[in-house]
Structure 1
Amino acid sequence: MANPKLKSVGKPSQNSNVITRRKPAAAVKTAYSVAEREEIFRRFSVQRPEPRGELEHTNPFTLVVAVALSAQATDAGVNKATRALFKVADTPQKMLDLGEEKVRDYIKTIGLYRNKAKNVIALSQMLVDEFAGKVPETHEELVRLPGVGRKTANVVLSMAFGQATMAVDTHIFRIANRIRLAPGKTPDEVEARLMKVVPKQYLYHAHHWLILHGRYTCKARRPECECCVIADICKSPEKSSDIPAPLVELPPQVIGEAVE
């Protein structure tokens, strides 16, 4: 009598010799090898050893305000408006004492200034009420502040607290897609990919290098490939030169006088 626990074995199927293999994890989307990425950021580090953001500020609070005001505005335009503002209101309490109407008067040359003034007062109130007037040092807490999104939080964490972040602005979003370094359909997608493809030793300064490269060399209207130190490595279909510019250290940045 056949053992009921044993299944009868029929003819082998045509696919019996096919070994099912687990698909490897998808590689991070980039057009560059590890060695090419290392070289790109090595050259940026030679060109600008200590890159800096170009928004004027005096402390973490004024940095939060400046970055929040820079949405849909140029750094130069924000600096022009905030110089006088920060002289009279460089803490959350001083900003509250100034009041929304006076804040509007200081920043009225900036786009969307009415809504931004409202946010500046609201975030100042939250800092006073919930954080003892101090800017928090975590992403989760920063994005709770009115007018502070993911990009603003990343800028503050990097510039105020020395954390390695990737603040994806219009320049970085354009560069990541144009040169195919970390293409993505949204800023969050680009941010996640850049955090994976940028070599770890260069990550802290990477977002400033990419912003400055996009602002002064790989410009929106026409990339100046003849001035680009990575022209020979670049895989952009738009590039007009394969000859890299001389790799020399640039003059120190003059914050507040940047040409947008």
Structure 2
Amino acid sequence: MTHDSPDRTPLSLLGLGAMGTALARAWLAAGHPVTVWNRTPARAEALAAEGAKVAGTPAQAVAANTLVVVCLLDDRSVGEVLAGTDLTGRDLVDLTTGTPAEARDRAAWAGRRGARYLDGGIMAVPPMIGVPGSGGYVLYSGSPDLFDRYRRALGVPAGTAFVGADPGFAALYDVALLSAMYGMFAGVTHAFALIRQEDVDPVAFAPLLADWLVAMTASVQDTAERLRGGDHTEGVVSTLAMQVAGTPTFLRTAEQQGVSAELLRPYFELMRRRLDEGGGAEGLSGLVDLLAR
């Protein structure tokens, strides 16, 4: 097996923060020839001992290989770093976190410079990269041909999921999934705050909380089905009217426990608005349409 075989695709990686370094190490460990560049040379030099070639400039890194991966601070950084490079004939994979609009603009920008483009959203933290079974994966969108060509190489650091030819979809899915995560974190934060001043062991409480959250994930599919069908009342067990009627209990409990309700109030207010518009017989899926106006 040669280094030019599909299993050992040569690539250039620009950006060696915690995530970029983890990506580089995963590709190097799998036998891929990797050329690296970073603003701070010391990070690149550390990888040289592991077999990476170090480029002195972004232009040199881009010129070294057809497959060019960037993992930088933000979209502006991508434009600045690649400004003086010749992207003609290059396959650019952008793993920098950004917005859907930024990804679409960057894809058009790359196209004008003669490059094909694939955007990526990393659903993992650095310790999950290169670890089989860690659950980490990367969302990709843009050129389907580009994804198919490099699927095996891109799958080395983490699992892959292609979510569409629209270059903005990887970023859209990324932010949507992370937004749901932060919503969950908000609920967990409030739950622990409620028991914080009581004689309740948080470690003993944690399994109950985790199991309850897992049980509630069934509602995700239910919401999706109602959104697809357009009927927010189909199969509803706990109506919006019933749930709004119960919200004062949550607010009084928070007050009595000396806990701010600032994480709950915005959602409860949204529920009340939907109810006032006549959505009492619905489930909570109708709140999606309220937000998306």
TM-score (normalizing by structure 2): 0.24
Higher RCO by CA contacts (8 Å cutoff, separation 6 or greater): 1
Greater strand share, structure number: 2
Greater helix share, structure number: 2
